[in-house]
Chain A
């Protein structure tokens, strides 16, 4: 079963990071990606531009509505995601607990509706 982790963090926490800080941050995520790859469950990941660059589009109601900004305006915003392929929710939860974002923000776990393989 494929699961997607949506990583929510508070941009205020990342506000005054130096390039050295970012380097350290990347190392931590690099280690997590390495662990996922080593276990053979890694599918995909991305790190997203800040939320102010978001564009939300909807065709609901028949007309195209384009909103400059994220869908929901909350303190914590979507900062990235992981897609992993593991047998069940138990396994997905084990990996979500290891995700660095879980320790400082939130990780939403969503099963794929497409089914795996």
Chain B
């Protein structure tokens, strides 16, 4: 016997975003579409066990949700609106597949008229069907405040006439960049607080975007970048302690994700349109190559960081390049590079102090290293990072 609950669950995970994108693209009312879809799923759970699972569960859910939308629109308008939303399966479903409007929905979520810090929560809620409460917990924000802001954002999307159609090329590029930035932020958030397990969501959305905009080299680059770093997820934290990339146990790295990343990066290179995410993915690819070669190619990393700093300077890559300099030209050169970096990062930047402590330790200046580790620890808020820094600090103190 087929497990009905499981079937509904799988349908939910696989098609939630697709169905919601389609339903909301007609009404522009995401909240209304969410309610209708929730009702359709609830009905599936009560009908399917007695009447059997339909041949095309997605189409069944879509039709049920559409009927529900029609009902509520009739109630709102008081007059019946005939033919606006068909009760029968529409012709576009004739071949059994649901048209994919998720790219338009992502564009709506990342619209510049919507506050930037709501882009990711909106994507997680509409495309992945995550509850506001869950999203709030992941980002450590007040659930009630976030729910209210999401409700207001959806009302704005409906009332301000934010278009659900795909924009023209120029705007498409700009909007794609906003989506990529959001997914990158989601990925970086998981990187900082991996206990929160947002990596799966970031990877799912990046993979989806890579498929939906297969011509966009940067979308492919981001999918590769997230796959590469996600491949090291199990090796990154061991016994609640962060493990630096070049000390990780390569046997814990996920080969399937590494292969996926290589494939996507290769496709991206073929578009001959280099960008920040491709370079970051290339940096990751150098790190994961250690699994095959047994060593890290610091020279290649240096070249990539020079390129990255030219295209997209950031405090993180500035410090990372100083670390690479230290490996290539000795700790003293690395420390000098950090001095220069500090004028940009300011003294309150934790990775700067962690890098400085490591280079001081390599230079044999154990006393200075201990002090720098203290500063780094004071600026760290994440448990596994603090554990790593404390372990390294203890090792220096013993010398």
Contact = CB atoms under 8 A, between A and B. Distances in A.
Contacts of B141: 28, 100, 103-104
Given A90-B347, A91-B379, A13 B148 contact: yes
B383 A35 contact: yes
B144 A14 contact: yes
A94 interface: yes
Q: Chain B at the A interface: mostly helix, strand, loop or mixed?
A: helix
B144 A25 contact: yes
A87 B374 contact: yes
Nearest to A22: B144
A58 B334 CA distance: 58
Chain A contact patch, size range: 20 to 34
The interface centre, meaning the residue of A14, A93, A104 with most chain B CB atoms within 10 A of its CB, is A104
Nearest to B346: A90
B224 to A, nearest CB: 31
Interface in A74-117: 86-88, 90-91, 93-95, 98, 100-101, 103-104
Interface string B356-399: 00000000000000000011001111110010000000000000
Contacts of B137: 24, 27-28, 31
A32 interface: yes
Contacts, number: 66
A35 B379 CA distance: 13
Contacts of A17: 144
Contacts of B380: 39, 94
A91 B350 CA distance: 9
Interface in B311-367: 347-348, 350
Given A24-B133, A24-B137, A38-B386, A100 B379 contact: no
A21 interface: yes
B348 A93 contact: yes
Contact of B386 (A25, A28, A32, A39): A39
B140 interface: yes
Given A13-B148, A38-B383, A32 B140 contact: yes
Interface string A23-48: 01101100110010011000000000
A50 to B, nearest CB: 15
B136 A24 contact: yes
B142 A104 contact: yes
B2 interface: no
Nearest to B380: A39
Interface of B: 133, 136-137, 140-145, 148, 347-348, 350, 374-375, 378-383, 386
Given A13-B148, A103-B141, 8 more contacts: A13-B145, A28-B142, A39-B381, A39-B386, A94-B350, A94-B380, A95-B381, A104-B141
